[in-house]
Amino acid sequence: MATVKTRDGTEIFYKDWGTGQPIVFSHGWPLSGDDWDAQMIFFRSQGFRVIAHDRRGHGRSTQTDAGNEMDTYADDLQALFEALDLRGAVLIGHSTGGGEVARFLGRHGTSRVAKAVLIGAVPPVMLKSDKNPGGLPIEVFDGIRAGLAANRAQFYRDLPGGPFYGFNRPGAAVSAGVIDNWWRQGMMGGIKAQYDCVKAFSETDFTEDLKKIDIPTLVMHGDDDQIVPIDDSARISSTLLPQGTLKVYPGFPHGMATTHADVINADLLAFIRA
C-alpha cells in the first residue's frame, strides 16, 4: 500500500492514479478515500491525475490516539502534497473533508493549489453558540458520540440508511449497497480517532481560513442536506471566500456526490476546466 509517514510517525494511506493536472479529494467522516470512487474513476477517464487519502485514524491509515483535530489533519495533507510534489492541484473536500481543505489552505497557503471545491462542507462552524445562533446544539454531537460509544456498528448502519443520503425521504430510491459500503468504510477506521473527529468537525471555526483562500472556490450544497444544513454552512461560507461561488442543488442530500454523481461530476468538470 502507498503511504506517507508524517512527523509523528502516522502512516497516511493514499491512492494516486493517472497523469495530468492533479485532483486531490478529502473525504467526510467517518469514511475513507473510497468514498470518492465515483469521482476517481470519472476524472481519471477525463485525463486527470486523481489522489485520495484516508485521514489519520480512518480507513487504511494508522488508527491514531492523538492528532485527531483540524490542524494536524491539515499538516498531514501538507505532508502528502510535499511527498508527491503536487502543484497546480484542484483540492476537493466533502463534509469534514471540506473543513480539512479550508484549514489546509488557511494554514499552508494556496501556492500548490489552483482551485478548491467544498461539497456539503462543515465550514464556517457547525456548533450553535452566541456567535453562531443558527448552528446545531451540542446535544446533536453528544448524541453522535454516545451512539459511537454504545454500538458503533449499529450506528453506522442507521446513519447512511437515513439522513446521510436522504434515504429517509418519501419515495427515495434506497441502495443497500451504498449503505453497506458506508458501513464498511466506517468500520475500517479506529473508534478513538472517529470519536475525537466529532469535536473537530463540529467545533472548529474556519471563518478566518475561508477569508484567506485567494483562489476560485466552488461551494456545492444540497438544500435538503440533513447532516450539514445549508443555511449555516454553504450560504455563509460563500460570502466569506474572496473568490467563492455558491451552487445550490434543490432536494439533494448530504451524500450527493454518491447519489447524484453524474450531476456533481459534470459540474466539477465544468468548474475545473473553466
Q: Are 30 and 186 in contact (CB under 8 A)?
A: yes
Per-residue pLDDT of 13-67, as tens digits, reads: 999 999 999 999 999 999 999 999 999 999 999 999 999 999 999 999 999 999 9
Torsion of CA 88, 218, 257, 181, to 10 degrees: 60
**76 given a catalytic annotation:** no
Query: Running DSSP on this structure, what letter comes out for residue 213?
Result: -
Which of 221, 225, 232, 237 is the catalytic position? 225
Which of 53, 58, 94, 254 is the catalytic position? 254
Helix (H, G, I), strand (E, B) or coil at 223: coil
Q: What is the mean pLDDT of residues 172-201?
A: 98
Nearest CA-CA partner of 203 in 80, 58, 96: 96
Taking the C-alpha atoms of residue 121 and residue 127, their distance in angstroms, rounded to an integer, is: 14
3-state secondary structure 104-139: HHHHHCCCCEEEEEEECCCCCCCECCCCCCCCECHH
In this predicted structure, the answer to whether residue 1 has a pLDDT above a threshold of 90 is no
Which of 32, 61, 95, 233 is the catalytic position? 95
Helix (H, G, I), strand (E, B) or coil at 201: helix
Taking the C-alpha atoms of residue 28 and residue 64, their distance in angstroms, rounded to an integer, is: 17
**254 given a catalytic annotation:** yes
**95 given a catalytic annotation:** yes
State residue 3 phi and psi, 5-degree precision: -140, 155
What share of the chain in percent tops pLDDT 90? 100
Cell 508524517 belongs to 6
State residue 49 phi and psi, 5-degree precision: -90, 125
Instruction: Give residue 234's pLDDT.
Output: 98
CATH architecture for residues 3-273: 3-Layer(aba) Sandwich (3.40)
Question: What confidence category does residue 268 fall into, taking pLDDT thresholds of 50, 70 and 90?
Answer: very high
Instruction: Give residue 113's pLDDT.
Output: 98
Per-residue pLDDT of 76-97, as tens digits, reads: 999 999 999 999 999 999 999 9
Give the start-to-end residue ranges of the domains of the chain: 3-273
DSSP per-residue letters across 10-79: -EEEEEEE-SSSEEEEEPPTT--GGGGHHHHHHHHHTT-EEEEEPPTTSTTS---SS--SHHHHHHHHHH
Taking the C-alpha atoms of residue 214 and residue 109, their distance in angstroms, rounded to an integer, is: 9
Q: Are 117 and 218 in contact (CB under 8 A)?
A: yes
Taking the C-alpha atoms of residue 209 and residue 186, their distance in angstroms, rounded to an integer, is: 28
Per-residue pLDDT of 199-249, as tens digits, reads: 999 999 999 999 999 999 999 999 999 999 999 999 999 999 999 999 999
Taking the C-alpha atoms of residue 171 and residue 224, their distance in angstroms, rounded to an integer, is: 14
Cis peptide bond upstream of 160, omega within 30: no
What is the overall mean pLDDT for the chain? 98
